[in-house]
Structure 1
């Protein structure tokens, strides 16, 4: 386990690297390390404490992904559901981070179901086990779907995360839980995660239980940060659900709120969700803001091309002169979607089209290095995902502040 056993284990509620050069056989860009077992270490010459954070996009389990997990469980001889094969390719990145953060978009149900898709999701809790297995430590749970099934849905979700060994922030089962910040010991540094969402698909947070899920406001975010600091946090990371769905550009509210967070709080890093597509990563004042990490794993009813693309944000924290310097990197990801065979000509085989047979999350840089193992059709799609993701991430000037790919192609 990457986080020290001396965790403060409760969540926040209403108040809330180098990679080893062995990583997928790739060297790091820009002043990387000397190789070997360099987990969590920053560029040569960095002094003081340091740690790395990996954060990825929405985990949004649509029915097609549940079916795929059932098929993979059967094929692997385990029975039941297995999300492992779908997400295996990102494990080399996620597992190397000192702290890995996911975003749980939907309510989790019981292992045996029933499960539902849009608009009122209930996802299999088996996904939580896979997230833990590939290296995630904590998940944000403040999302627009957090109240899809009321207080019971919140409880089921947090119970499932607890059972899997994942920490969480953003929703709570009690007022006490909500008022206790999530603070994790990461390589000797006390790191807090707070989580907020801008709305809940027209549902209102119950007036008699305002602690159930965190609703975004600058005052609430500031109060959560102050509560975390008072509880001993040295670094505070904000996960926030904001923005306009399917839009690669941050909207005016995102830009305005990011500026206020930078100017009026001491938050060290902002990780954004909601758009389901990649949005830029830029430095606002002294802090990095990832406006939108896209989807980590999803299968929308009408895939847009952009909605299959995402990133793993990689952030290297180094203590310098009593402050935290953060270096930002990214690893593009892509969700492979098999063809809808029931709508296809039965005489045409999948192999004839160059398409994949299964839903799979792809770590794009590693796939592009995989030579002849990747078909020309898939290589072309991965190249498009890489180039488009890079263009979006850099289009607000992040490059001038050092934003670059985590590994070379």
Structure 2
């Protein structure tokens, strides 16, 4: 069972008798740098699993207890995928192993946003291969399209008897802009287009509409002025029920704005930047409980901190320090602090730093007050 900390629950007077409820887990960027591919190759040799010599399962396993419990789990797939045996590419024009998509599905993700500034890194071929792979393994997607007709479709899922629409929009890449004739290949940020998409979703029976948006400035822990302006417009001019942000690669606040929760950036779900800053390894899973009321939906917001553990760099003839991280792993710092086993003091201090720093960034626009943002607790 997953429970919240001390946050208030929706008032009984507002709860609709027999009203529906469901939970949503959402996380930040899935950005597969070359070092993560190397780790997946090492893990495949150990496990004998995976495909074409790559197994991302051990890398991602640390968040499965949270992701798999949600009624609907949403990831953000930042980049196009290549063929199972490569070749693969890192920054600036990513092409990553399709095996990561299978691991995302295996740990419990149901659907992913795919609109980003890297969506068109390898043209329409990359877009098609990515969506074809997601379709084949049963992983939903929103934000990019193989045809003009597909671009007009709304991603709808039934979640515990509730029709949930998922929209996804991004800013355009200035390094590799999409040709005008293929401009439909992914959704660009536009308040007018978001409003039209929401209207189509409602016409198709959507009870709830969730928006994923790729926005903001990289490596800034505060939302930019354009982010704040767009958040105001969305929450004032639309009926969108939840906004999930990414692209900054670091954690930004979660705020209830005009009655709607905005997660400005949940940081990286998994990444290994060439120059790790500490902040780029820290992320958050947003956990949102929807409860039907007489007047609509009441949404309670929770979060769970994540961290990508990175082994220290040593020379070829050196051994890792005793107790050091040995492999790249996406971990749950709270779980490790609650059950530390034989982890050394340095590891535990790093996990405490991740918890405290993430909490500070998430709460930086006042959400823990009357709005009730709280850490998610896992209970057996």
**Shared topology, TM-score over 0.5?**
yes
User: Are residue 76 (structure 1) and residue 47 (structure 2) matched?
Assistant: yes
CA offsets, 1:4-63, max 9 Å, x none?
Answer: xxxxxxxxxxxxxxxx15xxxxx642379xxxxxxxxx8796541010000011000000
* SS at 1:328 equivalent: strand
Structure 1 CA distance for aligned equivalents of residues 249 and 5 of structure 2? 27
Gaps of 5+ in 1: 1-19, 22-26, 33-41
- Tell whether the 8 Å contact from 1:282 to 1:290 is kept in structure 2 after alignment: yes
Two-structure CA RMSD over aligned residues (Å) = 1.7
- Which residue pairs with 1:378 in the alignment? 347
User: Are residue 66 (structure 1) and residue 42 (structure 2) matched?
Assistant: no
Structure 2 CA distance for aligned equivalents of residues 102 and 357 of structure 1? 26
User: Are residue 156 (structure 1) and residue 139 (structure 2) matched?
Assistant: no
Cα deviation, residue 177, structure 1:
1.1
- Tell whether the 8 Å contact from 1:29 to 1:407 is kept in structure 2 after alignment: yes
User: Are residue 169 (structure 1) and residue 142 (structure 2) matched?
Assistant: yes
User: Are residue 404 (structure 1) and residue 374 (structure 2) matched?
Assistant: yes
TM-score, normalised to structure 1's length?
Answer: 0.88
- Tell whether the 8 Å contact from 1:329 to 1:405 is kept in structure 2 after alignment: yes
Q: How many residues align?
A: 372
Structure 2 CA distance for aligned equivalents of residues 355 and 250 of structure 1? 34
- Tell whether the 8 Å contact from 1:31 to 1:43 is kept in structure 2 after alignment: no
* SS at 2:135 equivalent: helix
Moved more, 69-78 or 329-338: 69-78
Moved more, 188-197 or 174-183: 174-183
- Which residue pairs with 1:387 in the alignment? 356
* SS at 1:78 equivalent: coil
Cα deviation, residue 368, structure 1:
0.9
- Which residue pairs with 1:357 in the alignment? 326
* SS at 2:368 equivalent: helix
CA offsets, 1:309-366, max 9 Å, x none?
Answer: 000000000010040110000000000111223xx3734x2133x4211000011111
Where do residues 229-308 of structure 1 align in structure 2 (5 Å cutoff)? 229-308=202-281
Moved more, 362-371 or 300-309: 362-371
Cα deviation, residue 229, structure 1:
1.0
CA offsets, 1:369-389, max 9 Å, x none?
Answer: 112332211110000000000
Structure 2 CA distance for aligned equivalents of residues 44 and 261 of structure 1? 26
